[in-house]
Each structure stands twice: as C-alpha cells, then as structure tokens.
C-alpha cells in the first residue's frame, strides 16, 4: 500500500503542496477559479516550523487510527486503499478526531462545521501534494521502497567514506 512519505531534509516551506491540495479538493479544480469559491477549498496537510526546519505534516493514515477509533458519529472509515476518510454527511463537528490525532492534521471547514482531512486523493494516480512538490520532499511510495531508498543513500555515504583514499581501512 502506497503512502505519502516526506524526505525531511528537502522541504523548503513553499506551501505549493497546500495550494495544490486545496485546488484538488475544490469544486472547479482550477486555481484561478478556486480562489473565489464558497465554501473556500481547504487544504489537508500542514507545514510547521520545527526548530528551524520546515516540516510537512500529513495524515499518516495510522492503523489502527486514533481518529477513526474515536469518531463518535461514525463519520470516519477506512477505504479499500487503506486511507482513513470522512463521510461528510455524518460528521457532527465534535473535533474528537482532532483531539486524538498525534499530528493535529484534522482541519475544519468553517462554513459547514465539518472536519476535513487527507483522503489521499482517491481520483488521482498521484496525490496532488506529491505532484506539486517542486523539490521531491513529498513522495508517494510503498514503505518498503521508501526505506530501501534511504538505505541505498546511506550505503552510498558509507561506501564513499570507506573507499576514499583517506577512508577507513
């Protein structure tokens, strides 16, 4: 199952992912039209500053998911891709999901007083945030592949250190 992963050293804090997310969840799906829509399209991921680092925070679609477990109205469910999603008509805006989310990545649509969260773009091959990221900080990959990439990079670092003339051994 693919997830949205973050290369934490790559985010420049440009917020392109947020705009793309809002546009992907707008009625028109067009930036220039979306800016004047009501209700205002909401984005579902966040960029926070963590000790000087720009950190994209996305829904991890945890399993088991605290939000899903805690939803008193039964508005949250897990779809066939494993994404935790919300049934709009069932949400009562109690924010229990937000209180239990360890990342705080449940937002609020003011006009209709319902929770909004990442649905991992069910209609798109690639989530809009990943497509929009200009530095490749956001990737859509299987956990195994993401881990393999990191290991390959790490092996490269070790290899270069060992094989260099001044290196170990």
> Is residue 5 close enough to count as binding other proteins by CB under 8 A?
no
> Is residue 19 close enough to count as binding other proteins by CB under 8 A?
yes
> Is residue 140 close enough to count as binding other proteins by CB under 8 A?
no
Name the segment binding other proteins (CB under 8 A); options: 74-82, 87-95, 129-137, 161-169: 129-137
DSSP the chain: -EEEEE-TTT-----HHHHHHHHHTSSS--HHHHTT-SSPP----EEEEETTEEEEE-----SS-HHHHH-TTS-EEE-TTS-EEE-GGG-----HHHHH-TT---EEETTTTEEE-----TT-SS-HHHHH-TTS-EEEEEHHHHHHHHHHHHHHHHHHHHHSTTS--
> Is residue 138 close enough to count as binding other proteins by CB under 8 A?
no
> Is residue 22 close enough to count as binding other proteins by CB under 8 A?
yes
Name the segment binding other proteins (CB under 8 A); options: 29-37, 62-70, 95-103, 147-155: 29-37
**Chosen residue from 2, 7, 10, 35 binding other proteins by CB under 8 A:** 35
Least spacing, CB of residue 94 vs other proteins, in Å: 20
């Amino acid at each position: 199952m693919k997830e949205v992963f973050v290369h934490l050293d790559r985010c420049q804090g440009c917020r392109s992912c947020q705009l793309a997310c809002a546009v992907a969840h707008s009625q028109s799906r067009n930036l220039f039209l979306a800016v004047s829509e009501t209700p205002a399209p909401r984005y579902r991921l966040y960029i926070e500053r963590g000790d000087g680092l720009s950190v994209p925070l996305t829904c991890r679609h945890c399993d088991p998911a605290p939000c899903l477990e805690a939803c008193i109205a039964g508005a949250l469910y897990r779809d066939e891709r494993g994404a935790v999603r919300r049934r709009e008509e069932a949400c009562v805006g109690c924010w229990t999901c937000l209180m239990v989310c360890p990342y705080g990545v449940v937002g609020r649509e003011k006009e209709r007083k319902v929770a909004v969260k990442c649905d991992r773009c069910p209609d798109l091959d690639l989530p809009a945030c990943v497509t929009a990221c200009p530095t490749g900080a956001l990737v859509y990959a299987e956990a195994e592949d993401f881990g393999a990439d990191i290991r390959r990079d790490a092996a490269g670092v070790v290899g270069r250190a060992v094989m260099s003339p001044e290196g170990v051994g």
